[in-house]
Amino acid sequence: MSYFKVGVMLDSLRKPTFEENASFAAEIGADGFQMYYNGVKVLTAEQIAAQQAHLEKCKLTAAAICGDIGGWVDKSKVEERLELTRIIMDYTRDLGAKVVTSHIGRIPEDVNDPMYQHLLGIMEKVGRLARERGLTYAIETGPETTAVLREFLDRLDGGVGVNFDPANLVMAGYSKNGADSVAVVAPYIVHTHAKDGTPAEHETPLGEGGVDFHAWLTELKRNGYKGFLTIERECGDDPAADCKNAMAFLRKVDAEIE
């Protein structure tokens, strides 16, 4: 019996259209999906309704939208990116998802670092935008340790959470197996990326890298996470095939955990 819902990043499937990607996601057994949307092209209500109709046909849930638009380190682009983020959040809400994921830039360890304070101020604004729309803006793990990320999140007023990517942490050398970094940010995890990789910063198909998926899923379950495991494959000769194999792999591991 499955405990977790499994999704797939539509962009990893590399089909020409949204509809083809969604249909293939359903074909390989996904419960839901995530997709990139940068807010540059504003979709009309009719276009969103057409997407929703196709998703209903495919029986797919919108798990999250990836709103990566270059992070928040560059102070000269903050206002432009806040406007794009508003558009991304409106689309996320209208499509029926509850989470926007993004990289924000590396959070310094020193809370007195000017960049730390800059990012904190921006996330206060972004968190407010998210709360106003009933969403969570989820920072993706990887650029810093989860301990640094937790301290940062504890200083905010809500609306900001975690998109937990175990491979990013393993590839950055911040985690031995993905599982050992879950507990510290567990209260903030609202979405995950099921991805694998090695400490040499090389992404691999699921089960071939340094992430211990049995341990990772066990830790997620132990800490109360019940959301999506969204398969992401950013490279490889045939990412769609890797995603299909990853779906079967995750279902098997899910069935084996206690």
pLDDT for 154: 98
**SS3 category, 81:** helix
Residue 151 DSSP one-character state: H
**Under 8 Å CB-to-CB from 2, ≥6 apart: which residues?**
251, 254, 255
Q: What is the pLDDT along the chain (258 residues), one digit of tens a residue?
A: 579 999 999 999 999 999 999 999 999 999 999 999 999 999 999 999 999 999 999 999 999 999 999 999 999 999 999 999 999 999 999 999 999 999 999 999 999 999 999 999 999 999 999 999 999 999 999 999 999 999 999 999 999 999 999 999 999 999 999 999 999 999 999 999 999 999 988 999 999 999 999 999 999 999 999 999 999 988 877 899 999 999 999 999 999 997
131/7 Cα distance (integer angstroms): 24
Domain boundaries, the chain: 5-256
For 125, the token pair is 């604004």
| Record: fold of 5-256 | TIM Barrel (3.20.20)
Which helix (H) or strand (E) segment is 22 a member of? helix 18-27
**Residue 173 region by backbone torsions, left for phi larger than 0, else alpha for psi between -120 and 50, else beta:** left
Q: For position 5, what pLDDT does the model report? A: 96
pTM for this prediction: 0.96
CB within 8 Å of 5: residues ≥ 6 apart: 31, 32, 61, 63, 227, 228, 229
